[in-house]
Amino acid sequence: MAVTRCVCHQRGFRDIAEVARARGWTSVTQVTAGTKAGSGCGACLPYLAAVLSTGHTCFAVAEAGQHPRPCPIDPRH
């Protein structure tokens, strides 16, 4: 299973990354204010930080206390 979106607000990380680049957002606070992503349960907050710092938009499920890791590349795509 991969993490690709804020579930509470149904905002995909790909869309969030595009909007953040277009608007010059560099912090999770800016992303949350502009998209509401991260303002529900908060589970996506570390993933949002990883989107901003790495540009990746698909992550393996992280255990508590672990940093999100990008999904491995699927050779079928």
pLDDT in tens, 12-64: 999 999 999 999 999 999 999 999 999 999 999 999 999 999 999 999 998 88
The number of residues making up the chain comes to 77
Query: What is the pTM for the complete model shown?
Result: 0.90
Token pair 């579930």 is at which residue?
7
Spatial distance between the Cα atoms of 44 and 22, rounded to a whole number of angstroms:
21
Return the CATH number of the domain spanning residue range 2-70.
1.10.10
Asked whether the beta carbons of 58 and 44 are under 8 A apart, the reply is: no
* DSSP per-residue letters across 21-59: HHHT--SHHHHHHHH-TTSSS-TTHHHHHHHHHH----E
Domains of the chain by residue range: 2-70
